[in-house]
Amino acid sequence: MNVTIIGAGLGGLVLARVLHVHGIAATVYEAEASPAARKQGGLLDIHENTGQVALEAAGLTDGFRGLILEGHEATRILDRDGSVLYDEPDDGTGGRPEVPRGELRQLLLDSLPDGTVHWGHKVTGVRALGGGRHEVTFAGGATVTTTLLVGADGAWSKVRPLLSDAEPEYIGRSYVETFLYDSDTRYPAAAKAVGGGALLAPAPGKGIQAHREKGGTLHTYVALTEPVEWFGDFTDAAAAVERTAREFEGWAPELTALITDGDTAPVLRPLHTLPVEHRWDRVPGVTLVGDAAHLATPNGEGANLAMLDGAELGKALAAHDDVETALAEFERAMFPRSAESAADGNELHELLFGDDSPRGLLAMFAPEGQ
C-alpha cells in the first residue's frame, strides 16, 4: 500500500502514526518549510470520546498526559460590565484536558520514523490517472504518483476537488486574534477577569473569548458578526485595533484591554464552513480527513474530529486487505459523525452570538436549579 498524505496537521499525523503502529508506511507532504515555520495555535481541549480515543489508537496516551496543563479546564462567563455570570473551576474531574497544540503536534512528529514528513512541499495540483491512482504536483514542478491519496490539507484543500465541488463559504462572522504576554504582572485586571482557564463574554452579534496559556499568556479571539469587507486592511494594526475596539465601547476595561493592549498585531480570522451534510460518492484511491472533509463553525471539536478521522482511517486500512472496502467503511462512519458536530457548532454560535445571548449560553452551562 502506497499511502500519500497531504498535510502535516494533527489529522494527517495521527493517520501516519496509526499506520506506522500497524506496520504500514506512509509519506506526508507539508507546504510549510519546517515544524517551526509558524506558531501552531493555542490550547486544545482533548475530548474523551474523540481526541483521546485517537491518541490511544496512536499509542500516545502517556505522552499526551505529560502535556496536560493542570487547572486550565476552568470556565467563566462574564457580562459586558465584567460581572461574573458563571464560574466553574477545574477540579480535575473534567473530561477535556487542555494541552498546547504545538507540543501535541511535536509529540506526533517525534513518534514517526525519520523522513516520514517531507517539508516545503506545497501542492499546486492533483489529477486522477485511473485505476485509483493519482498524481500530485508540487510548486517547482516535482510530482509523485500514489495508489492512496489522503487530503489532510485543511479548509482550502487541493485534494477535495477530486471528490466534491463544495467550497468553503463565509458564515458572516470573523474572529480577531490577539495576545497579551506575562499578564499577571503587566495586565493584572485582564488576567483576573480571564481566571485560570477560559473566558466567555458573549453578546448578540459579538463577543470576547480568551484562554490562559503558559506563562500567563492570554490568547483572545474577538468575535464580530460583520461582512468580511467590514474589517478592512489589517496591515494597519493600530487602525484595526481601533475599529475592533469601537464595537465594544462601554464594556468593562478589563475586557476591552484584551483587544487594545495586545502585544502582537491583531490577526483577522474569517470563519468559513462547508455544508453541514457535506459528503461525496466513493472515488477509488482518495479520501479526506479533518477540515478538508468537514470544515465547520468552531466549537472545540475541529482538531478532535481531525485526529479521530486519522485514527479511524488508519485502523480501517490496517483491518482490510482491500483499500476500497476500508475507505468506504471509514466514510460511512465519518459522514454522520461530522454532520452532527457541525450542527452542534451552529447551535453553539447561536447561543453565543444570537439575540438571546448570553442567557441561552448560561442555560446550557447551568440548567435551572443548578
Q: Is 101 annotated as a binding residue?
A: yes
Residue partners of 221: CB distance under 8 A and separation at least 6: 175, 176, 177, 209, 210, 269
Angle at 127 between CA 126 and CA 133, to 5 degrees: 110
- All cell numbers assigned to 171: 458564515
pTM above 0.85, yes or no: yes
* Fold for the domain defined by 169-273: D-Amino Acid Oxidase; Chain A, domain 2 (3.30.9)
What confidence tens digit (pLDDT) does each residue in 306-352 have?
A: 999 999 999 999 999 999 999 999 999 999 999 999 999 999 999 99
- The superfamily in CATH containing domain 2-71+99-168+275-353 is FAD/NAD(P)-binding domain (3.50.50.60)
- All cell numbers assigned to 227: 461582512
Q: In a 3-state reduction of DSSP, which class is residue 17?
A: helix
Q: Is 127 annotated as a binding residue?
A: no
What confidence tens digit (pLDDT) does each residue in 213-234 have?
A: 998 999 999 999 999 999 999 9
Q: Is 269 annotated as a binding residue?
A: no
Name the segment(s) of the chain with CATH classification 3.50.50.60.
2-71+99-168+275-353
Q: Is the pLDDT of residue 368 over 60?
A: no
If phi over 0 gives left and psi between -120 and 50 gives alpha, with beta otherwise, what is residue 195? left
* Residue scoring higher pLDDT (232 or 366): 232
Name the segment(s) of the chain with CATH classification 3.30.9.30.
169-273
Spatial separation of the C-alpha atoms in residues 120 and 30, rounded to whole Å: 6
SS3 content of the chain, % helix, strand, coil (to 5): 35, 25, 40
The pLDDT mean for the chain works out to 95
Q: Is 76 annotated as a binding residue?
A: no
- Of 29, 38, 41, the C-alpha closest to 3 is 29
- All cell numbers assigned to 274: 462547508
Q: Is the pLDDT of residue 42 over 90?
A: no
